[in-house]
Amino acid sequence: MSHRLQGQDWLTASATRAVMAALTAAGGADCARFVGGCVRNALIGAPIDDIDIATTLTPDAVVAALRVARLRSVPTGIEHGTVTAISEHQPFEITTLRRDVSTDGRRATVAFTTDWAEDAGRRDFRLNALYADADGVILDPTGQGYDDALAGRIVFVGEAEGRIREDYLRILRFYRFYAWYGRGAPDVAAVAACAALAEGVTQLSAERVSKELLKLLAAPDPRPAVRLMAEAGVLGRVLPPTDLALFEAMTEISPDPVLRLSALLPADPAKAAEVARRLRLSNAQRFRLVEAVAAEATTTQTAPEGRAVIYRDGRQAFEDRVMRAWAAGGESEDAHRLLVLAKDWSQPTLPVGGRDLARLGLKPGPETGRVLKAFEAGWIADDFPDHGHEERLRALLPPA
């Protein structure tokens, strides 16, 4: 029995039709099929982020076909068989069917093929080895991908350990896909293979690891997957040892993957900085992780205390620390009060400067910095008053 994708606007959109028409004009009716995430997500009713197309055409033939159809092509990964078509300003990733020639656990040497079963056989999970033709008719070379997608089963194509040895990133992808699409108990063979080969994740590049980890943590509820990672010894090869309790609680109160990552780290800025360096996170992500754990916070702070932290350390750091305190057992009402404070308070700038001191007779020099620093400390401690600045400065001036 054949199945067909229903009610998919992207499938019938003119931009999509133009790309498929260009390919079929060059290679025939069965030379191009939609593949992977767009088919899987359309089948289960999840959002479609990208439209990927598999084709029997070689990359050069794809480029030529797009040129004839007056569509722009971008050689985004042409050495691996991938060309991106631009149709009505929308990208479509087109990849020639492939088979693995050799693998080393990090990368594969591939050869192009025209065999759809070979292409399906090198994919990671059966629910990702689904194809659909231009009319939305689903093709399932493994014979089980369709049922897996509907049932929420994340099962490797073929033998699990063999798939993982080809690319150890598939360990992290298993947990990521289980977090996003898995339902019920995880596949026993997959869990065992990931545990047995957990050391392989240490061979992966930092960028690949951090990308998968943050995608996993962005899932609506990544807790079951993270627990599996910890039990298999995978989490401990990616992050320092930590108690999962804070992470479990944080997942319930925030969908932010960076904040959830901070909850998987100990309250140690040096360790947070080391994790960020090792994972090669962006400067903004690194700064945020370090600041989130840099100081212990409570949800019982007063408004003046909260404003002082926001002024000194920034709004994001304050909010992240409040969220950590909330996850650690703080009262939700108090946390909400402080988060509203952070959102609504307009942070003032220091109301005095060197010119004000010069006007009061203080000559420029080191003393200027000392007086301004002392003024600022008192101004913060008194909750940023908007008056009496000259009197405060006079009181701080050295004796004449």
- Tell me the pLDDT tens digit for each residue of 275-298: 999 999 999 999 999 999 998 888
- Looking up tokens 């949800």 gives 299
The token pair that represents 17 in the structure block:
């039709």
Are residues 233 and 359 both part of a single domain? no
Are residues 117 and 143 both part of a single domain? yes
User: Could you please report the per-residue DSSP string of 57-107?
Assistant: S-HHHHHHHHHHTT-EEEEEEGGGTEEEEEETTEEEEEEE-EEEEEE-BS-
At which of 135, 151, 167 does a domain end? 151
Are residues 194 and 74 both part of a single domain? no
Are residues 190 and 324 both part of a single domain? no
With bands split at pLDDT 50, 70 and 90, how would you rate the model's confidence at 2?
A: confident
Mean pLDDT of the chain: 94
Give the residue numbers spanning the domain of 337.
Answer: 241-347
**72-77 and 82-87 beta bridge pairing:** antiparallel
Nearest 10 degrees: CA dihedral of 354, 360, 363, 369?
-40
pLDDT (mean) for 34-54: 95
Number of domains making up the chain: 4
What pLDDT, on a 0 to 100 scale, did the predictor assign at position 376? 96
What pLDDT, on a 0 to 100 scale, did the predictor assign at position 101? 66
Are residues 136 and 166 both part of a single domain? no
Are residues 246 and 175 both part of a single domain? no
What pLDDT, on a 0 to 100 scale, did the predictor assign at position 99? 83
Task: Read off the CATH number of the domain in which 94 is found.
Answer: 3.30.460.10
Rounded CA-CA distance 367/371 in Å is 6
> Which DSSP helix (H) or strand (E) runs through 165?
helix 160-166
Which of the two residues, 298 and 322, has the higher pLDDT score?
A: 322
pLDDT (mean) for 213-230: 97
Is pLDDT above 60 for 58? yes
With bands split at pLDDT 50, 70 and 90, how would you rate the model's confidence at 243?
A: confident
Are residues 232 and 247 both part of a single domain? no
Are residues 6 and 146 both part of a single domain? yes
With bands split at pLDDT 50, 70 and 90, how would you rate the model's confidence at 308?
A: very high
Are residues 326 and 360 both part of a single domain? no
At which of 151, 175, 208 does a domain end? 151
pTM of the model: 0.89
What pLDDT, on a 0 to 100 scale, did the predictor assign at position 144? 96
Are residues 246 and 276 both part of a single domain? yes
Q: Residue 393: name the closest of 383, 367, 307 by CA.
A: 367
- Tell me the pLDDT tens digit for each residue of 157-184: 999 999 999 999 999 999 999 999 999 9
Report the DSSP beta bridge partners of residue 94. 53, 83
